A and B are shown apart, each in its own frame.
Chain A
């Protein structure tokens, strides 16, 4: 079973047999892969009803919902991993969403496009216009991305909110993931996206 390289990097962070909640699960590719490859007990939330119906028709457990409003029902520490892939930047209150992820899951895995990528910077610097790249394909007036940030910005928020970064990856233009730690200028300049494995320092681990 083949999945996108960045999803594969996320899948590698998940331990076998874990209870997984995938928020914004799309067509269910990651959940299906995790179920088949790691025997996880997976659930999904997806905004589009067509996506939900398609997932359920494939035997996945998915409900229609929104990361901003529909996480409050989920019980505290009900999951081992909560995944938010390429969605944080589209939420209204990303800080609250992060908080919810770490309430619901013992670990959160978050990925998002890096607004600090050199192509983005050059776009602004030389063209003076909002960047449109492979990761950020839509013009400013149509994009769902309302809370874009750089890898540095995200790490700063984690520090501020006392969130523990267990693993940090930057993903290059070929989809290859590279590990980094702390404030890496290289990661922030060359990462098209970042993937973070997060936890609360005081949370109980099994």
Chain B
């Protein structure tokens, strides 16, 4: 494809069920017509009529004329960006909120995931009457590049060879993900976002957005995140990557051509990572030392304990919906993230003169991105004379708290977003 355009369907997708499922959830040719938005630069273009359908979204493809120049120096084209929208863009285009997703999540924020059939991953935060109120705001979430839910990633065909990229896919960064999102915003005709919000890796993207495009972000909500990935977090990611690469079915990343999937490696990676998303008290509360389907210890290596059974279940489920190479690339992007390093080692320079309002959120029991990682972001923003709020939520649910029912977080973010929207003059529903 040499020009920008929409593709109705996905091909060359990793998981056998994925392509079919994406077709099921309505990437029909008709919908692709609806998704062909007028270019934002054209003054005669009518306002984009998007968001009329709560299940709206699509895949936009950007050709070589709009190639993505990556931090690694590679120019990536074509680039597909899969996204979902909720709510309606107002005529002034002032009510758009970009949701940035975490490592293993996707664009299905508030609608059923076509692969798992499960509800969206943030339905308690995003929806009608929720803190990110889709009756008032127009919500967009796009799959990150490098991902496996429709945006260009290592399982897509390399335009040079026609074979899946595999490890020939260029290493991407958080800034590259943000550039891709900015490309999509340009395409949707959204110059300035009312807010960018996300947790974990999504929070890294929020910070990157605010730093890279300060005048396009009115309010930024980085949740359970940091301005750099810690040594401990890089270490956990490396364990996951090594588990994938140790699986003989990985075939140096070329498993698609071999007709295999490194299921065991990816499952182990997920199991290790999943522990870091919880907390010791939460694990204890949920499982303790309870046995799984048995009265006494089995004196073997079956899943005697409920916690083992739970982790195995998490691992097995994950391989059905996630691509192993995407896991390598996306964890790498997080490892490389260091916003201060990009600004001479001084984090406040990343936000010098920022007009953005920030609300930084952390959780007391999060040991993956603890408050002590969020606090330097707050201090840097204060030093940059930014308008910043910092909220620490008392929770024992660990890192995953940001995805769960945390009424205090909902109350705070609802108030913060309302104030931001009032400032910009977004009408109440």
Contacts and interface: CB of A to CB of B under 8 A. Distances in A.
A31 B350 CA distance: 28
B385 A56 contact: no
A63 interface: yes
Nearest to B387: A61
B378 interface: yes
Contact of B382 (A56, A60, A74): A74
Contact of A75 (B385, B390, B394, B414): B385
A140 B418 CA distance: 43
A2 B414 CA distance: 25
Interface in B369-418: 378-379, 382-385, 387-394, 408, 411-412, 414-416, 418
Contacts of A174: none
B389 A62 contact: yes
Given A53-B412, A57-B411, A59-B419, A73 B382 contact: yes
Contacts of A52: 389-392
A58 B387 CA distance: 15
A64 B416 contact: no
Which label, helix, strand, loop or mixed, suits the secondary structure of the A interface? mixed
Given A43-B387, A52-B390, A53-B391, A59 B416 contact: yes
B422 interface: yes
A56 B416 contact: yes
Interface string A50-80: 0011011111111110000000011100100
A11 to B, nearest CB: 20
B390 A73 contact: no
B359 interface: yes
A34 to B, nearest CB: 15
A61 B378 CA distance: 12
B392 A49 contact: yes
Contacts of A62: 389-390
A56 B391 contact: yes
15 contacts: A49-B391, A49-B394, A52-B391, A56-B359, A56-B389, A57-B412, A57-B416, A58-B419, A59-B416, A59-B419, A62-B389, A63-B388, A73-B379, A75-B383, A75-B385
Interface of B: 357, 359, 378-379, 382-385, 387-394, 408, 411-412, 414-416, 418-419, 422
User: 7 smallest A-B Cβ distances: which pairs?
Assistant: A59-B419, A57-B415, A63-B390, A73-B382, A56-B389, A73-B379, A57-B412
